[in-house]
Amino acid sequence: PITLNGGDAQTTFTLPIAQLVQVVSANLTLALVPSAGLNSDSWITVRINGLVVGQINLATARLEGHAISLAIPVSSLKPGYNTVQIFAAQHSVTACAPPLSPELFTQVDTKNSFFTLSATPINPDLTLNQLGELFDPSSDAKQAQVPVFVSDPNAADQATTLAYAAQGVARRFNYLPVNFSVLSLDQAGHSPVAQGAETLPTAALLIGNYAALTPYLAGLNLSNTETPRLIVRRFDAAPARYLVILVANTIAEQQQLALRFALTELPLPAVHSLNLDTLTVTGLPNPPPPRQNNGFQFRDLGVVSTTLSGVDAPSLDVQVWNAGWKQKAQVRLHLAYTAGMSKQSALNVWINGVLQGSIPLNLPQGGEYADFAVTLPTTQLNAGWNKIRLQPVLIPITNGGECQPFFPGNLSVSIFDDSKFIWMGNGSEEYARDLAVFSGFNSMKWTSGWLEGLNIQLAANNADLLSAAMTLTGKLSQTAHLPLIKLNVGTVLPKNTWPTILISTLDALSTENKHRFGLSPDSILSRLKNNTAGQVSLIDWDAKPNLNTWVESRSAFDLTQLTFAAVAEDAAQPEYLFAASTPVTLQAGMARAVGFGVWSQLTGTMAYWPNEGKPVISIGRTQEPFRNYGLSRGLSIWITQNPWYGLLIVLIAGIFTALVIRWGITTYSRRRHGKN
């Protein structure tokens, strides 16, 4: 739930509406729980895109029940993202009410609050510059489904072309997960112009040569059938259905065409068909330069400059990856804050739920910090992901009591993306081999080498494995926010030093690979014994045979519904594996893996999950604080932070001890000889 506190409170969220629909009617149901202390002068105002669409008296809402329905004017909505703002003006007395009184609140039950939209599809004649409307991130779908039609789904030489095409679709969908299905043009019931095509998703990809795609090019009046072309056309047999066609006569030309399709930064003209020769590659985004291991800016983690406002200002969370033993770290913040705040205002810095510092925001005229440093001790840093939370506490100069003026609208602090995170001192600089490299793709792209080149190796030429590879590649390009240009996909790959992802069925894995990736009972048992923290998170799925049973009995259990991801820890170059018992299971498992929530759960050296319903289980490094591995403070921490001084002290202590022993022996000897 969202709680609106104080005399003047608000919350903002976004309502997505697909590009290719026309909204006929709209209704908003708000589930509100107003405070019993609010009087009849208390109101909720709802604005959509700046227009007031409804007002609710909170005293009346409390008496009539908490579910209030508002009819939304269709004219206030637009295709794409709509900004919805809920403002609360709350009073408990008729005059001089303290605006921060605890009885001034209204809770919005987000679970039972919802929009009801009635819409009809529209069928505009889209051109290439409107592909963003076709592959629409504002769709209300949880996952986009995109069929890809080719002449032969099992052809070995088209895998890289399909991977580039997947990026072109996924990057236009932005953050929306995409599941690809590679199908044959001749496959019964799946042809894009077959009877029942209205059941297909809004857009389908067609990739092939002119001879194979002749039926789908009819009516375009193409004068040249030798030049590679990118085409979008409306499928008139079914409403709101479109074909995006990549046609070229050779595999090399198809690959180049798919690569240009993946470069969403290239502006496309308002035409239906584009000759590849006219599509020049200019102004491509350059990968950021390799950063130093001991420090980086927030923008390198995908964080943008952010302004946090209001009495109940939200926090800004920053995720930082720690590969292993490090010395202490620092957060060096660049921030600015507005005038009109009291001396109690501050920006609190938390690391993994522990308060580490507080930055005062106490100048009445406002101010700026160009480089405010907060030290993060080694004892509070985890191996793996660490969450830095920047939580503002913004308090006005007066609280509005006793008829004092009160202006909560000018309570804001901005945190800029050139703020820095710095590791202090020496330590392990290599990123650990961990599946979190996928969910943290954007924050590790400089050192993991993904943008320098990537191999995706398929165990066999199979349509389901190709579909899984397309789904994975599309997700990687979404997470990286950049195209993966240097890419090899196929069953046989050239030798290079690029990271490799293996997509395979379990039966196709060699005995060596099963052990390297930990997919044999012996390997798993070894992982459990050698686990850094000595603990493994295992969940009993409704008392069915699970991984624990597998390890104890040393015999395999039913794997037919599980998909595995694993890391080869001993490989010279990073190697990762996605595997399942059958190609169909692997495609379904990959579709679930790239979905909301599941992708971020890929951690450790091995993870596995069923195709639906159950959580992801991870095995490997846990998020253990360093204090669990030895002394938590004092001399041990000082030595890790100052190793050379520590060595010098040990040498001095050793020399001093030796001198004391020598002096003691000499004194004893003299006394003994003196008596004799």
Ordered by start, the domain boundaries in the chain are: 2-121, 128-278, 295-423, 436-623, 642-675
Closest Cα to residue 409, out of 307, 499, 478? Answer: 307
- The CATH fold assigned to 2-121 is Jelly Rolls (2.60.120)
pTM of structure: 0.75
Higher pLDDT pick, 628 / 158 = 158
pLDDT for res 341: 85
pLDDT for res 293: 52
pLDDT for res 402: 55
DSSP states of 405-427: ---GGG-EEEE-TT-EEEE-S--
pLDDT for res 637: 52
User: Given a cut of 70, is residue 394 above it in pLDDT?
Assistant: yes
| Coil vs helix vs strand at 372 | strand
**675 Cβ contact partners less than 8 Å away, ≥ 6 residues apart:** none
pLDDT for res 596: 84
Highest mean pLDDT among 9-18, 270-279, 287-296: 9-18
Q: Which residues make beta-bridge pairs with 336?
A: 368, 414
pLDDT for res 480: 80
**167 Cβ contact partners less than 8 Å away, ≥ 6 residues apart:** 262, 473, 474, 477, 483, 484
**354 Cβ contact partners less than 8 Å away, ≥ 6 residues apart:** 380
pLDDT for res 195: 45
**CA–CA separation, 644 and 58 (whole Å):** 67
Give me the mean pLDDT over the 76-87 stretch.
92
User: Given a cut of 90, is residue 475 above it in pLDDT?
Assistant: yes
* Torsion sign, CA atoms 373, 377, 378, 381: negative
- 516, burial (CB in 10 Å: exposed 0-12, middle 13-18, buried 19+): buried
CATH superfamily for 436-623 is Chitobiase/beta-hexosaminidase domain 2-like (3.30.379.10)
pLDDT for res 629: 40
- 116, burial (CB in 10 Å: exposed 0-12, middle 13-18, buried 19+): exposed
| Coil vs helix vs strand at 490 | strand
Higher pLDDT pick, 608 / 323 = 608
User: Given a cut of 70, is residue 582 above it in pLDDT?
Assistant: yes
User: Given a cut of 50, is residue 545 above it in pLDDT?
Assistant: no
* Torsion sign, CA atoms 124, 127, 128, 130: negative
Amino acid at 662: R
HEC string of 563-618 equals: EEEEECCCCCCCEEEEEECCHHHHHHHHHHHCCCCCHHHCCCCEEEEECCCCCCEE
Give me the mean pLDDT over the 434-444 stretch.
65
pLDDT for res 594: 92
Closest Cα to residue 468, out of 496, 501, 492, 426? Answer: 501
Give me the mean pLDDT over the 579-599 stretch.
90
Q: Which residues make beta-bridge pairs with 354?
A: 351
195-244 confidence digits (pLDDT tens) = 445 556 788 899 999 988 888 888 888 878 888 999 998 876 666 688 89
* Torsion sign, CA atoms 503, 509, 511, 512: negative
Residue keyed to tokens 């992982």: 527
**CA–CA separation, 322 and 375 (whole Å):** 16
CA distance from start to end of the chain: 92
pLDDT for res 624: 40
User: Given a cut of 90, is residue 559 above it in pLDDT?
Assistant: no
User: Given a cut of 80, is residue 428 above it in pLDDT?
Assistant: no
Whole-angstrom Cα Rg for the chain: 31
**CA–CA separation, 484 and 501 (whole Å):** 14
Average pLDDT over all residues of the chain: 79
Residue pair 424/459 in contact (Cβ under 8 Å)? The answer is: no
109-125 confidence digits (pLDDT tens) = 888 899 999 998 888 88
pLDDT band at 513 (very low <50, low <70, confident <90, very high): confident
Higher pLDDT pick, 144 / 597 = 144
Tokens for 450?
A: 């993904």
**CA–CA separation, 292 and 355 (whole Å):** 27
CATH of 128-278 among 3.30.379, 3.30.2010, 3.30.70, 3.40.1710: 3.30.379
User: Given a cut of 90, is residue 140 above it in pLDDT?
Assistant: no
Q: 460-497 as b/e, with b when 16 or more CB fall inside 10 Å?
A: ebbbbbbbbbbbbbbbbbbbbebbbbebbbbeebeeee
Judge if 2-121 and 128-278 fold alike in CATH terms.
Answer: no
SS3 content of the chain, % helix, strand, coil (to 5): 25, 30, 45
Residue keyed to tokens 């009346």: 60
Percentage of residues of the chain with pLDDT beyond 70:
78
**CA–CA separation, 134 and 459 (whole Å):** 33
**CA–CA separation, 161 and 259 (whole Å):** 8
pLDDT band at 179 (very low <50, low <70, confident <90, very high): very high
Tokens for 417?
A: 């993306």
636-650 confidence digits (pLDDT tens) = 555 655 677 778 888
pLDDT band at 552 (very low <50, low <70, confident <90, very high): very low
pLDDT band at 544 (very low <50, low <70, confident <90, very high): very low
Pairing of strands 500-505, 575-580: parallel
Higher pLDDT pick, 535 / 123 = 123
pLDDT for res 325: 55
User: Given a cut of 60, is residue 299 above it in pLDDT?
Assistant: yes
CATH of 295-423 among 2.40.10.10, 3.30.1050.10, 2.60.120.260, 3.30.70.20: 2.60.120.260
